[in-house]
Amino acid sequence: MQNINLNICYYDLESTGLCTWTSKILQIAGICNKDNETFESYVMTPPNVEITNSFIHHITKETLIENNAPPIDTVLHRFMDWIHSIYGDERVYLIAHNNFGYDQLLFESHCSQNEIDIPENWRFYDSLYQFRKYNPEIGYGNYALGKLHAKYIGGDPDGEFHNALTDVKVLKEIHEKLTCPIFRKNSIYKDIIEAECKKATMNIDWQNEPLDTIIHNNQRVIDHINGKGFKTVHDLFGNYRKVVKLGSSFEQYLSMMGITSKVIRGKLTSQLRHIDNLLIRKDNTVY
């Protein structure tokens, strides 16, 4: 990326649904800021899996068959090998729009289910989180990729939105347009982004990990939960396991703790459920 000395791979996933653990990836695409090299592949789903959102991305079973889509484990290995061929073992930042809320979780779930390790040199960053925090002038409700493209790029994109390859090309263009000026004005912005990046969930030692790993850009909520005696993700996750084991709702538990935002309760529960799924799959860990 011009004026930004970071190794970046913008990536996007299209899938069969919204659940990050049960949905299946249908398409993976990436574009790197080094020489604009691209990766794109459809992914064949198991025969019994229904595609419930073809009306959004227009990917059907016929699309997968026509494109000779490989199985997910093959595509994941190809994607990782492609990134390694460009950046080697250097630190690389994988950026997606709503990465923390969806793409990273979906990608990690598939890696876990296929017993594929995510490289230690990968870091995940969320352009949606970044734009909301550092570009508030865009305004609430205007952070969708299509709206950002209309505002900052204009014209028609090279392809249809909700095609993974189109979306990563658009994201790269928007991200550079919004981020490069900040880098030119602020010499420590690179350090700020580095501090806000996330390691792959399966590569984190949760014992001492602070709550801001799963609660993004909301110090008020972090302080509130800290005040209840939960200092680390491990602390809160222990209670999540206890509540779920009793068959109770963790979102309701958070409400009783005084977390008034339904959105925050949902996101926090989703993050802890994701960690739980990965731990069970990894080594049947019991906290």
List the Cα angle 50/167/264 in 5-degree steps. Answer: 70
CB-based contact 171:14 (threshold 8 Å): no
* Nearest-angstrom CA–CA distance, 146 and 161: 7
pLDDT given for residue 286 in this prediction: 40
Q: Where in the chain is the domain with CATH 3.30.420.10?
A: 8-203
* Nearest-angstrom CA–CA distance, 236 and 157: 43
Q: How far is CA 255 from CA 104, 246, 249, in A?
A: 26, 17, 10
In CATH, the number for domain 8-203 is: 3.30.420.10
pLDDT, tens digit only, all 287 positions of the chain: 455 678 999 999 999 998 999 999 999 999 998 888 999 999 999 989 999 999 899 999 999 999 999 999 999 999 999 999 999 999 999 999 999 999 999 999 999 999 999 999 999 999 999 999 889 999 999 999 999 999 999 988 887 888 999 999 999 999 999 987 777 777 777 787 788 899 999 898 888 889 988 988 789 999 999 999 999 999 999 999 999 999 999 999 999 999 999 999 999 999 999 999 998 766 554 43
pLDDT given for residue 162 in this prediction: 87
Beta bridge partners of 27: 14, 42
CB-based contact 106:137 (threshold 8 Å): no
The structure tokens 């209309």 sit at: 150
Number of other residues whose CB lies within 10 A of the CB of residue 55:
8
Alpha carbon 199 to its chain's center = 11
Number of other residues whose CB lies within 10 A of the CB of residue 171:
22
* Nearest-angstrom CA–CA distance, 177 and 102: 24
Strand duo 92-96 + 38-42: pairing:
unpaired
The structure tokens 């935002």 sit at: 261
pLDDT given for residue 285 in this prediction: 45
pTM: 0.91
